[in-house]
Structure 1
Amino acid sequence: MNFANQITLALTGASGMPYALLLLKALVKADYKIHLLISSAAQVVLKTESHLSLPSRSDLAAEFLAKYTDAKPEQIICYGKDEWFSPVASGSSAPKTMVICPCSMGTVSAITHGASDNLIERAADVVIKEKGQLILLPREMPYSVIHLENLTKLAKLGVTVMPASPGFYHEPKTIDDLVGFVVARILDHLNIPQTLLEPWGYQPSK
């Protein structure tokens, strides 16, 4: 089945799974084919924060998430951390766009230093070397100097760092409003139309 675009989406062990799930639903709605990478730590956080227990097998996890997001057949493809022959591991076939949401500081460090010890790190390394678009959504507080130096190095390489920092000028009423704010900004940077948040200056006057 053909899709409008392709993207790699990775979930790591930082807090912030509601952001990841809403982004996944938005990408499905936008008719993207999603190459999904989920770390072992992310699966633990996902169960803790969203009460979702993913099957351990990649194909069953993809089937589970397809039902959860109402995705089309083969729209979501999951890969294990050691599937080195997957498309995202190669510069000749990987999507040119990747989002890591949420992004742990351990993942940030590994990407900064080119570790490529698992498929998430390798996929990010591929996007950087191929001069694609890599967006990181770190969720940490406070940032240490180590964190800031690593993020600065990546920003200098063209990586977009978007901390999970929702705004309040739109007068959020629920947690979903706060989550939607952050995901809307990610979608804006991906040039994907969204209705989660009105652009600044377009909010109805009080």
Structure 2
Amino acid sequence: MSRPWVIGMTGASGAVYGVRLVQEMLRTGQTVHLVVTDAGWRVLHDELGWNAAKRREMLAEHLGGEEGQLVYHPIQDIGASIASGSFRTQGMVIVPCSMGTLAGLSRGASDNLLERAADVMLKEGRRLIVVPRETPLHAVHLENMLTLARMGVRILPAMPGFYHKPQSLNEIVDFLVGKVMDAMEIEHKLYKRWGEHNGD
């Protein structure tokens, strides 16, 4: 059985990216350990209409998965399994990643479970992928990204492509989620790759 992935969601706009990634990972049989910041829950409410007061119910309703396939960790549970390097995982994706979380990661902060889990990935040499969603970017944002990139973190900004000629918002979301899954080396069919087009 393959090791699980940790997925973090923060208060940046673009909650749909994180939700869609988890849905697709569960569909393909991956085990997901999920942690969402308080601001992340606010965005899930504001952008997708989730009832943040019924967190576990919302996850079960919108994400599903088989028994034990989705493990939810409250943001302040610093004693959770994913807070320890001895808990073996394939890596972690933070999607969407706010600039505040990005700043915390770049300075090695562990102020909550999400930051601690990401710090574990760095100290254990595991894969860490962040999907920042902000515009415009100022110098400190860029410096923080450069700091993380130099540490081996994969920076995958929420910048959808259009060469696959999307016909809906869902196809735009799936393109970005597919790029994340490419970085995770998980097979998918979320978008047509370059060279797979017919006629042009």
Q: Report TM bin, short chain.
A: over 0.9
Equivalent residues of 2:18, 2:95 under 8 A apart? yes
How does 1:74-153 map onto structure 2 within 5 Å? 74-153=68-147
Equivalent residues of 2:51, 2:58 under 8 A apart? no
Equivalent residues of 1:96, 1:130 under 8 A apart? no
1:174 counterpart = 2:146: no
C-alpha change, 1:31 and 1:55, in structure 2 (3 Å) is farther
Regions of 4+ moved over 6 Å: none
- 1:113 partner amino acid: R
Of the three residues 14, 24, 28, the one matched with 1:30 is 28
Deviation of residue 86 (structure 1)? 1.0
Of the three residues 155, 180, 191, the one matched with 1:161 is 155
% identical equivalent positions: 37
**When the two structures are superposed, what TM-score results if normalisation uses the length of structure 2?**
0.95
Equivalent residues of 1:12, 1:103 under 8 A apart? yes
Equivalent residues of 2:96, 2:130 under 8 A apart? yes
- 1:109 partner amino acid: A
Deviation of residue 94 (structure 1)? 4.3
C-alpha change, 1:4 and 1:98, in structure 2 (3 Å) is same
Question: Aligned with 2:4: secondary structure?
Answer: strand
Long gaps (5+) in structure 2: none
Shifted more, 193-202 versus 179-188: the winner is 193-202
Task: Name the CA distance, whole Å, in 2 between partners of 1:173 and 1:139.
Answer: 22
Deviation of residue 84 (structure 1)? 1.8
Alignment deviations for residues 86-130 of structure 1 (CA, whole Å, 9 cap, x no partner)? 111001114231000000000000010011010010000000110
Corresponding residue number in structure 2 for 1:190: 184
Equivalent residues of 2:159, 2:176 under 8 A apart? yes
Equivalent residues of 1:96, 1:127 under 8 A apart? no
Task: Name the CA distance, whole Å, in 1 between partners of 2:12 and 2:162.
Answer: 23
- 2:8 partner amino acid: A
Long gaps (5+) in structure 1: none
Q: How many residue pairs get matched?
A: 200
Alignment deviations for residues 145-203 of structure 1 (CA, whole Å, 9 cap, x no partner)? 00000000100111000000001111111111110110000111111111111221112
- 1:52 partner amino acid: W
- 1:119 partner amino acid: L
Say what the alpha-carbon RMSD is for the aligned residues: 1.4
Deviation of residue 78 (structure 1)? 1.1
